[in-house]
Structure 1
Amino acid sequence: MADLVLLTGISGFLGGHVAMALLNAGYRVRGSVRTLDKAGKVRTTLQRAGGDVGRLEFVALDLLGDAGWDAAMDGVRFLQHTASPFVLDIPKDPNELIRPAVDGTRRAIEAALRAKVERIVLTSSIAAIQYGHKDYSRLLTESDWTNVDSPKTGAYAKSKTLAEKAAWDLMDKAGRHDDLAVINPAAILGPLLDDDPGTSAALVARLLDGKLPAVPKLGFSVVDVRDVAALHLDAMTNESAGGQRCIASEGIYRMTDIASAMKEAFPDRRIPTAELPDVLVRLAGLFDRTIAGNVHELGTLKRLDGHRGSNRLGRPLISGTVSAITTGKSLIAKGLV
């Protein structure tokens, strides 16, 4: 019988693609959802994408509740923990993000350790690497950690940093450091499996909807969801991935780079390519919490060393502009913009 993988967060954008990678590789997948009434939609989505849902089952798990975690680990060889809150509209109380991220990771890791799961793959983020540093003239690597005490570190970055550190701490205390593999993705773009655009795709949607007069002078790292899913699959069995973090980033792009590529790909859409002055972005942030959460990014390009991801897969990663265009095509095809 095929090995069983517990995949938390299967209903999410990344979780769905990880599920497809696992099913296509011949694994059995036990996907966790907050409530089982979501299972039917996920099953249909994966079946439409070509997944063998005969090897798919579901379990209800809550990041903030203890119920069901031990039962969910029964017979599981590998854990893929992708579930974590991610929002563009940062809540007023940072603990609304931090608590479920940290507590959910602890629950997943502790249950996996009790069940003696062979390998744990954790989805972290470059947000656990790139914030709160004084020097951005160098490439940031997997050895760098976000400074959670910096006033420039937001709630989301804190949640990902503290959750990942909690995971490493638990594994170290159990003497199983090398049985954890962490993937640290950049902003994830790529094809949608269902009609939920998620958070990263929402950035592309805002370019396509014709409502933006210009784009902010922001630069950010991008990776395709198909590459991130492939790295999760690799990390599960690749001996060299054990005990390591892996930045998943194809490269850094300015908003104008993405907008220009999309304008060429979608000539019938009113896509802005002019840059908005920083002062106007900061002013808009006083009225829009989504913008306010990104104002601190103005003027600083955070460059990441993404060679480990491409080395693991043995090929170049999908280009960020291709990923953005693919996202746009999905959004249009599903009638979301």
Structure 2
Amino acid sequence: MSSSKSKISLTNPSIPLNSLILVTGCNGLLASHVADQLLAAGYRVRGTVRNPNKCSYLTSLYSHRHGGPGKFELVEISDVTAPNAWDDAVKGVAGIVHCVGATDLTIQEPDSAAKEELEWQVGLLEAAKRAGTVKSFVFTSSAWALWMPDASKKVTLTEQSWNEDAVALARDKNVDPKTKGMAGFMALKTLVEQGVWEWVKREKPGFAFNTVLLDTVLGECLDPKNQGIPSTPGMVHWIWENKHMAIIDLMEPQWFVDCVDMAKVYVAALASSPKVDRERLFVFGERYSFKEVARLLGEMFPERKEKFGQPKKEGWDQTEVPNQRAEELLKRVGQKKGWTGLEESVRANAESILRLEREGGTGAPQSTYAR
């Protein structure tokens, strides 16, 4: 099957090529792809991790993929909550892509959790403002900051949408916490994104600022031996191995985006021309369900079909999302066909699983804060 992807390219970028870009949480799925696309576009990258020794494979990976050493460096931030934790990392950088956020799905008290998280999220924004060299900042938010997915409901989302339903449910003391599902985590994502926008409105930094709203991410993992199959591509791995299917069956049909598409939109939001500023970008490619993912896997690998888990959740998402702007940015950096389809992303996901089986390795432990 031919790929709809093409090499990233920037015309008259708003941040000059060969500038240094900071990418936080670089061992995570999202950030590792963003760093990869920044390097492919012609930038230098400084990646933050909690433990550089455990993540040294990234230096070798990017050196191999992008023509030798010197374009990528790792820096340690062992505690993002420490005072001035980001000051050294932001020195001399022209742009920041921030991919770090709490990932505890069991949060029950979103207000206190958001207050704690915003202290260090805002800490990076303030460090960027003090640095004086930063031209653009892209912040990773979540589709769950917008709404509670429900395939049975027709919903139209806009840039003004916030997941107030999750916030209200999470705060409601009259509802049994066991019945709230992931409302607490969704509320946290909502409150944190609102908090960073409040900071931007109040402080009026001189750099461009945008948030990326991500739904499920599927597709290739760059280094399965060291990363494993992390984040939501790991759920495809669960279907492959028929594990954790009870969790899969909790997931509503919704939208997904391919890993590489996602990373290219980050680069476009950060550095393309005309400059992108003060936007919430809906990085949603196509609708999907895990039932459809399992069906596609069965078609691609009929000899394994009987071993795959079979999700029970029926339905198809009916949400309308304003993803045209993000697709425009994807095309702006060279991917003229637009979003990658579900079949191609599932195949890339499966090929990463096969690589993991061939090469072995359990994958590096993922940080609490790496997405």
| TM-score bucket (shorter structure) | 0.7 to 0.9
Quote the Cα distance in structure 2 between the aligned partners of 1:34 and 1:274.
35
SS at match of 2:63: helix
User: Where in structure 1 are there 5+ consecutive unaligned residues?
Assistant: 278-297
Would you say 1:158 and 2:187 are equivalent positions? yes
Q: 2:302 aligns with which of 264, 267, 270?
A: 267
User: Where in structure 2 are there 5+ consecutive unaligned residues?
Assistant: 1-16, 170-179, 363-371
Q: Which residue of 2 aligns with 1:28?
A: 44
SS at match of 1:54: coil
SS at match of 1:334: helix
Q: Which residue of 2 aligns with 1:327?
A: 349
Q: 1:144 aligns with which of 155, 161, 180?
A: 161
Quote the Cα distance in structure 1 between the aligned partners of 2:245 and 2:126.
49
Aligned pairs, number: 315
8 A Cα contact 1:121 1:180, kept in partner:
yes
Would you say 1:199 and 2:234 are equivalent positions? no
SS at match of 1:261: helix
Q: Kindly tell me: are residues 156 and 91 of structure 1, through their superposed partners in 2, closer, same or farther at Cα, counting changes over 3 Å?
A: closer
CA RMSD of aligned residues (A): 3.0
Q: 2:137 aligns with which of 107, 111, 120?
A: 120
In the TM superposition, 1:10-159 aligns within 5 A as: 10-50=26-66, 52-61=68-77, 62-86=79-103, 90=106, 98=114, 101-116=117-132, 117-131=134-148, 136-147=153-164, 148-151=166-169, 154-159=183-188
Q: Kindly tell me: are residues 99 and 299 of structure 1, through their superposed partners in 2, closer, same or farther at Cα, counting changes over 3 Å?
A: farther
SS at match of 2:168: coil
Q: Kindly tell me: are residues 312 and 331 of structure 1, through their superposed partners in 2, closer, same or farther at Cα, counting changes over 3 Å?
A: same
Would you say 1:309 and 2:326 are equivalent positions? yes
Q: Tell me by how many angstroms 1:67 deviates.
A: 4.2
8 A Cα contact 1:78 1:120, kept in partner:
yes
8 A Cα contact 1:253 1:320, kept in partner:
yes
Q: Kindly tell me: are residues 180 and 228 of structure 1, through their superposed partners in 2, closer, same or farther at Cα, counting changes over 3 Å?
A: same
Deviations 1:292-322 (A, max 9, x none): xxxxxx9975443322221222232011232
Quote the Cα distance in structure 1 between the aligned partners of 2:20 and 2:328.
27
8 A Cα contact 2:257 2:286, kept in partner:
yes
- TM-score (normalised: structure 2): 0.75
- Which structure has more RCO (C-alpha within 8 Å, separation ≥ 6)? 2
- TM-score (normalised: structure 1): 0.82
8 A Cα contact 1:221 1:252, kept in partner:
yes
Which amino acid in the other structure matches residue 308 of structure 2? I
Q: Kindly tell me: are residues 100 and 203 of structure 1, through their superposed partners in 2, closer, same or farther at Cα, counting changes over 3 Å?
A: farther
Q: Kindly tell me: are residues 325 and 102 of structure 1, through their superposed partners in 2, closer, same or farther at Cα, counting changes over 3 Å?
A: farther
Q: Which residue of 1 aligns with 2:289?
A: 254
Deviations 1:262-286 (A, max 9, x none): 1101212222446368xxxxxxxxx
Would you say 1:182 and 2:211 are equivalent positions? yes
Deviations 1:166-194 (A, max 9, x none): 22111111223872011111111111112
Which amino acid in the other structure matches residue 88 of structure 2? A
Q: 1:242 aligns with which of 277, 282, 303?
A: 277
8 A Cα contact 1:178 1:243, kept in partner:
no
SS at match of 1:182: strand
Divergent runs of 4+, >4 A? 91-101, 211-215, 298-303
Quote the Cα distance in structure 2 between the aligned partners of 1:193 and 1:95.
35
Q: Kindly tell me: are residues 220 and 27 of structure 1, through their superposed partners in 2, closer, same or farther at Cα, counting changes over 3 Å?
A: same
Which amino acid in the other structure matches residue 22 of structure 2? L
SS at match of 1:275: coil
8 A Cα contact 2:39 2:71, kept in partner:
yes
Which amino acid in the other structure matches residue 226 of structure 1? V
Deviations 1:120-157 (A, max 9, x none): 11111111112399x94232122211114231562322
